[in-house]
Amino acid sequence: MKPLLSVRDLTVEFELTRGILKAVNGASLEVHKGEVMALVGESGSGKTTFAFSILNLVPPPGRITSGKIIFDGRDVLSLSEEELRKYRWKEVAMVFQAAQNAMNPVMRIADQMLDTAQAHGKTSRGEVLERASELLRMVHLEPSQVLHAYPHELSGGMRQRVIIALSLLLDPKMLILDEPTTALDVVTQAYILDILAEIRQKLGLAMLLLTHDMSIVAKVADRVAVMYAGKVVEVGNIEEIFYDAKHPYTVGLIKAAPSLIGDIADKRPIPGSPPDLINPPPGCPFHPRCDYATDRCREEVPVLTPIGDGRVVACHNWQQVHL
């Protein structure tokens, strides 16, 4: 089966005064129709730049310097501006990080919905408001209370649910969510994750969920891709990753994740810090932090390699790695 999204060897560079920063460095990933893929990594791992690239929306001075992005059979990097405008809400929509705080404060929710729909050629006010009401109910909000409200009249969690409803207004095939629960309290986080799982079941759309937090991944994702220093270093389904991770960085993320049932004393942060992406270490970029590093790791960059059952990992010593 052909993937809905295929990203191959993507590189995104930022030309800074200190040198060239490779925020994404030869990253590859596939997402299938209807699946929820979690893209996990520490901040600065390249997740957000990777997501912006899928929309061909990398902010300057960033620039996609190589790679291919194919969405539903179309080459995204060769779409015209007009084609991109349609692609960006109708094919792939994105809920940006902390988007709930960036809503237009002087527009009622109904007008924000109408504005978005009209910008994409949907002019029937009645039809748009009807669809908006359906979507608001889907995110457990009462349309009669929310549509006429201004953003400041809603809580952070409610605004986040409005943004999710708004992003679904043009029926995209894929929704990208960048840290969708980060600014929210724990109870609201769990509630939003439940809602995302329901939406996925009802609408059957694909989701790419960007997060630094392994503990929220298990709740909604089918598969997990782990990113480090601008590269995808491991991809597997949720059970494989949580019970049999094969990249030492994935193991580190799992051990560092807070657990509601485990002892807090068992939580072990990954030692060291992410590499300088202008001057990354030679060989495997994880080697200064890795318990499994050998001489080969300090010289040779590991490539993403199939290890069976559709899993891939970029590590010279994956056979020795255990959780």
Q: How far is the CB of 236 from ligand SF4 (least distance, A)?
A: 15
Instruction: Measure the CA dihedral 218/221/222/226, to 10°.
Output: -90
Q: How far is the CB of 314 from ligand SF4 (least distance, A)?
A: 7
Q: How far is the CB of 258 from ligand SF4 (least distance, A)?
A: 23
Residues binding ligand SF4: number (CB under 6 A): 13
The smaller minimum CB distance to ligand SF4, of residues 256 and 293, is found at: 293
182 binds ligand SF4 (CB under 6 A): no
How many helices, marked H, and strands, marked E, lie in the chain? 11, 12
Q: Is 303 left (phi over 0), alpha (psi -120 to 50) or beta?
A: beta
Rule CB under 6 A: which of 123-152 touch ligand SF4? none
DSSP letter for each residue of 162-211: HHHHHHTTT--SEEEEESTTTTS-HHHHHHHHHHHHHHHHHH--EEEEEE
Question: Which of 22, 47, 173, 316 is close enough to bind ligand SF4 by CB under 6 A?
Answer: 316
Measured CA to CA, the distance from residue 75 to residue 78 in angstroms comes to 6
Question: Which of 248, 252, 274, 275 is close enough to bind ligand SF4 by CB under 6 A?
Answer: 248
Question: CA distances (Å), 91 to each of 26, 64, 86, 205, 209, in order?
Answer: 24, 20, 7, 10, 16
Q: CA angle 175-177-182, nearest 5°?
A: 160
Cis link prior to 248 (omega < 30° from 0)?
A: no
Q: How far is the CB of 212 from ligand SF4 (least distance, A)?
A: 19
210 binds ligand SF4 (CB under 6 A): no
315 binds ligand SF4 (CB under 6 A): yes
313 binds ligand SF4 (CB under 6 A): no
Q: How far is the CB of 228 from ligand SF4 (least distance, A)?
A: 8
The smaller minimum CB distance to ligand SF4, of residues 126 and 269, is found at: 269
Q: How far is the CB of 233 from ligand SF4 (least distance, A)?
A: 7
The smaller minimum CB distance to ligand SF4, of residues 102 and 303, is found at: 303
317 binds ligand SF4 (CB under 6 A): yes
Contact 149, 108 (CB under 8 A): yes
The smaller minimum CB distance to ligand SF4, of residues 163 and 313, is found at: 313
Site string for ligand SF4, 276-305 (x = CB under 6 A): --------x-xx--x-xx---x----x---
Measured CA to CA, the distance from residue 273 to residue 103 in angstroms comes to 34
Helical (H) or strand (E) element with 156: helix 156-167
Instruction: Measure the CA dihedral 183/210/244/5, to 10°.
Output: 160
Gyration radius of the chain over CA positions = 20
Q: Which residues bind ligand SF4 (CB under 6 A)?
A: 247-248, 284, 286-287, 290, 292-293, 297, 302, 315-317
